Chain A
Amino acid sequence: MKQFAALLRKDNQPVRYLVVDDSVFARMDITMPQMEGIEAVERIVRQHAGARIVMVSSVGYQENILAALQKGAKHFVQKPVKPEVLYEILRYVLSDDPNAVGSPVAMAGEQRS
């Protein structure tokens, strides 16, 4: 598995993320002060085609989920999210195996086998 890490802030700092080997992993929210999360997804994907973005937001209605995925996010999870659920999602997104456990969208509290 490749190593990716990222940080995205919700205060007045610009979107920050870490690029490793031309790929990006960002854990990000949707509502932010200076740039909406979905706009940030589009911008990150434009700059880094290999970006693997997981949207983590408490705003989990269908339009938001679809917009995030259409702009290039790999996954969407609604908060609050259990650590074990988030772990499975990250494992899935970071995996190069298309048959890895996980589905494109996970809602809060969703259990995985």
Chain B
Amino acid sequence: MRMELIQPFINAADAVFAESLQAPTKIVDLSMDEDTYRRKGVAALIAIKGDIEGRVILDLSPEVAMKVASLLAGTEVEASEQVVRETVCEMANMVIGNSVTLLNDQGFHFKVFPPEIHMDDTGLGGSADTEALVICIETPCGSVYLNIAMHYLHRRRQERKEVPALD
């Protein structure tokens, strides 16, 4: 697991939740996980393909998602499964988008796929035997979990250019 690939996701998640909720956040737990990911609440999985590949899972309980939705809306939002799904998707989008922006500035190019929501009780497909970093972020609305598995697919474009051609 390369930390230079992971760090932008941690920074972006921290910044996005702090900015969106207008309150400080804190990373309270950080661990490595190789087992199939079992969601804790409602999980949004976003796949990334390109110079680096992998996936990021944002996971929060429906209660936390509703609190986030109400804060984002600026008013109490009536609880529903749809609001929970949309909130988790939107937060995942913002975290990934901001991470991608940071990584793009470092010269990585890749495509981000729209989030897939997982609410069933089975493990998430494609997450078995994948070394992932699991982060718990404490926010004023409750705990938010981020599960990141990322690896280089090819050498970075710039590095490829720097390799001298063979005669």
Q: Do A and B bind each other?
A: yes
Nearest neighbor of B92 in chain A, beta-carbon distance: A58
Q: Is the CB of B114 within 8 A of A32?
A: yes
- Interface 1/0s, chain B 84-120, versus A by CB < 8 A? 0000010001111110110011000000111000000
Which residue of A33, A63, A78 contacts B104 across the interface (Cβ within 8 Å)?
A63
Is B20 close to A, CB under 8 A?
Answer: yes
- A21 and B23 alpha carbons, distance in the complex (Å): 42
Q: Is the CB of A61 within 8 A of B104?
A: yes
- A33 and B97 alpha carbons, distance in the complex (Å): 15
Q: Is the CB of A58 within 8 A of B105?
A: no
Nearest neighbor of A59 in chain B, beta-carbon distance: B97
What residues of B have a CB within 8 angstroms of the CB of A61 in the complex? 100-101, 104-105
What residues of A have a CB within 8 angstroms of the CB of B95 in the complex? 58
Looking at the assembled complex, report how far the CB atom of A84 sits from the nearest CB atom of chain B, in whole angstroms: 11
What residues of A have a CB within 8 angstroms of the CB of B96 in the complex? 58
Q: Is the CB of A109 within 8 A of B19?
A: yes
Count of chain A residues with a beta carbon within 8 Å of a chain B beta carbon:
17
Q: Is the CB of A79 within 8 A of B94?
A: yes
Nearest neighbor of B17 in chain A, beta-carbon distance: A80
Q: Is the CB of A58 within 8 A of B98?
A: yes
- A108 and B114 alpha carbons, distance in the complex (Å): 21
If over half of A's interface residues share one DSSP class (helix, strand or loop), that class is named, otherwise mixed; here it is: loop
What residues of B have a CB within 8 angstroms of the CB of A32 in the complex? 114
Question: Which among A10, A31, A58, A109 has the highest number of chain B CB atoms within 10 Å?
Answer: A58
- A32 and B112 alpha carbons, distance in the complex (Å): 10
Looking at the assembled complex, report how far the CB atom of B156 sits from the nearest CB atom of chain A, in whole angstroms: 15
Is B126 close to A, CB under 8 A?
Answer: no
What residues of B have a CB within 8 angstroms of the CB of A102 in the complex? none
Question: Which among A33, A57, A63, A79 has the highest number of chain B CB atoms within 10 Å?
Answer: A79
Q: Is the CB of A79 within 8 A of B97?
A: yes
Q: Is the CB of B93 within 8 A of A58?
A: yes
What residues of B have a CB within 8 angstroms of the CB of A50 in the complex? none
Interface residues of A in 8-35 (CB under 8 A from B): 10, 29, 31-33
What residues of A have a CB within 8 angstroms of the CB of B97 in the complex? 31, 57-60, 78-79
What residues of B have a CB within 8 angstroms of the CB of A58 in the complex? 16, 93-98, 100-101
A-B residue pairs in contact (CB < 8 Å), sample of 17: A10-B93, A31-B93, A31-B97, A31-B112, A31-B113, A31-B114, A32-B114, A58-B100, A58-B101, A59-B97, A61-B100, A61-B101, A61-B105, A78-B101, A79-B97, A80-B20, A80-B94
Chain B contact residues, CB within 8 Å of chain A = 16, 19-20, 74, 89, 93-98, 100-101, 104-105, 112-114
| Further pairs besides A58-B96, A58-B100, A78-B98: 17, Cβ < 8 Å | A10-B89, A10-B114, A29-B93, A31-B97, A31-B112, A33-B114, A58-B93, A58-B95, A58-B97, A58-B101, A59-B112, A61-B105, A78-B97, A78-B101, A79-B93, A79-B97, A80-B19
